[in-house]
Structure 1
Amino acid sequence: MDITKHKDHRPWKMPNQPWIMYQAWKDLLFIHWEIEVDEIKHLIPKGLEIDTFNGKAWIAVVPFMMRDVMPRYTFPVPWLSYFLELNVRTYVKLNNKAGVFFLSLEASNPIAVKIARKLFYLPYMDANMSVNKENGYFNYYSKRTHKNEPKAEFEVKYKPISDIITYKPDSIESWLTERYCLYSVNQKGQIYIGEIHHKKWNLQEAECQIITNTMTLCHGIKTPKTEPLLHYSKNIEVVVWYPSPIS
């Protein structure tokens, strides 16, 4: 099914250029915390504005499985198309386009890490990662191994606990997840926008037990003691455009 035919939910039109990559995100968990803007502003590049919901910034740790990653008009290959990913993200905007800004991204595939760093200017890092499913829970683990980067480790057990939920356009669920671009910065400080497209998220309520988490601490952010906001998604198909520099 061509997911680009489903576009009524988008906040702006898709790019005129053809997309370049397809990927599927499987068994994904959003772990969100509300934080003060001052806690994160030092991590946001000049030119990007922190996006807020009711005056608060948000940060998320997101573990999932990458599947069927492939350039357009090709097929999945075992050594590139299947790997685990864990990202730390927050929310920004530029020229009224609300998007995602990644503080870090771990991946279990070194080739994918090199490609993403070079072509998409994203701070991907090598990590030893594993996942298995036991008694209905996903057991997910990641330990960073990337050279010359701060140590970071994450371990969580999680599962969905509801059917797919309904959420309105002005809800926190929509604000956190319905974002159709990401921003990145190259070594010279040039900001890039990377457009993406997918159907509206199918979200479920979730529960989790965080066993180890230093993913935000390595960025100087201590997550609040309050319970995080949790959402699970079984599967979402995504197409990606090549990033464009912001003039």
Structure 2
Amino acid sequence: MSFLKAEWRKLVMVNYEIDPEILKPYVPKGTELDFFEGKCYISLVGFMFLNTKLLGVKIPFHVNFEEVNLRFYVRKAFDEGVKRGVVFIKEIVPKPAITFIANTIYNENYETLPMKHSWETSNDSVNVTYQWKKNNSWNSMAIQAENRLNEIQPNSVVEFIAEHYWGYSKKNAKETTEYEVKHPRWKYYPVKQHSVEVDFKSNYGDEFEFLNQANPNSIFLLEGSEISVEDKIVLK
């Protein structure tokens, strides 16, 4: 049985080029930074968890909720090839029980904060906003996109950012946690306009303050799908 099943829907992905030296202290043992066309990326991602089940059970008041995370991209070589995965700097949710489970079992860095979202759909456009409150100030990321879904093309930057099926985290200096995320290939909405109002220093630390003034390299809105998160294993 999968550890967690849910739907991840309306994923906003705001992607920045970053100096790989900033990320090296966060890279779990046994993995290495992944690059697209010579560039190292970090992404601010907001989406909804819907119909969430933990070990097959819906937990009251923890079925539908927002998440915003800051993540980067790694590779792990193994006998059959390469696994492409993500590492999270921090994941923000509005539910303390989710934070406790993720931090305790999956060695992630979750934080519980007040959150809200807005979805508006018309014949022509899809408008998605995610907000979270840190130090009495609201942060937000908002997208206006065309209301038509496109296939993700092979070897595109959309594929590099969106199509990852493994999660990695540092258990300690010598051990790495690995888990699989299963979902079908996603589709995306063409983005028309965006707004990012985030205090990266307050949310993620001094080394990410430069993102306050940085312009995103790319911005995506993906429809998402049903997903499953499998049990973790510890790599030594």
Scaled by the length of structure 2, the TM-score of the pair is 0.84
Work out the CA distance in 2 between the residues paired with 1:39 and 1:111.
31
Asked whether 1:242 is paired with 2:221, we answer: no
**Distance change >3 Å, CA 79–CA 189, structure 1 → 2:** farther
- 3-state SS of 2:187 partner: coil
- 3-state SS of 1:115 partner: helix
Deviation at 1:219, TM superposition (A): 5.4
User: Which of 174, 179, 184 is the aligned partner of 1:199?
Assistant: 184
8 Å contact kept, 1:153–1:214: no
Scaled by the length of structure 1, the TM-score of the pair is 0.81
Q: Which residue of 2 aligns with 1:83?
A: 65
Work out the CA distance in 2 between the residues paired with 1:241 and 1:58.
25
What letter corresponds to residue 62 of structure 1 in structure 2? Answer: V
Deviation at 1:57, TM superposition (A): 0.7
Q: Which residue of 1 aligns with 2:38?
A: 55
8 Å contact kept, 2:90–2:111: yes
Deviation at 1:199, TM superposition (A): 0.4
Q: Which residue of 2 aligns with 1:33?
A: 16
- 3-state SS of 1:47 partner: coil
Deviation at 1:238, TM superposition (A): 0.4
**CA RMSD between the two structures:** 2.4
Deviation at 1:25, TM superposition (A): 1.0
Work out the CA distance in 1 between the residues paired with 2:119 and 2:161.
27
8 Å contact kept, 2:6–2:50: yes
Asked whether 1:123 is paired with 2:109, we answer: yes
- 3-state SS of 1:163 partner: coil
Moved more, 89-98 or 214-223: 214-223
8 Å contact kept, 1:100–1:181: yes
Deviation at 1:155, TM superposition (A): 1.2
Deviation at 1:38, TM superposition (A): 2.2
**Distance change >3 Å, CA 72–CA 217, structure 1 → 2:** closer
Asked whether 1:176 is paired with 2:161, we answer: yes
8 Å contact kept, 1:155–1:213: no
Q: Which residue of 2 aligns with 1:97?
A: 83
8 Å contact kept, 2:14–2:216: no
Q: Which residue of 2 aligns with 1:160?
A: 145
Work out the CA distance in 2 between the residues paired with 1:153 and 1:44.
29
**Distance change >3 Å, CA 53–CA 219, structure 1 → 2:** farther
Work out the CA distance in 2 between the residues paired with 1:228 and 1:143.
25
User: Gapped runs of 5+ residues in structure 2?
Assistant: none
Q: Deviations over 1:5-24 (max 9, x none)?
A: xxxxxxxxxxxxx4232011
The within-5 A match list for 1:224-239 is 225-239=214-228
Query: Percent identity among equivalent residues?
Result: 21
8 Å contact kept, 1:154–1:214: no
Deviation at 1:126, TM superposition (A): 1.0
- How many positions carry a matched residue from both structures? 224
What letter corresponds to residue 138 of structure 1 in structure 2? Answer: V
- 3-state SS of 1:113 partner: helix
8 Å contact kept, 1:205–1:230: no
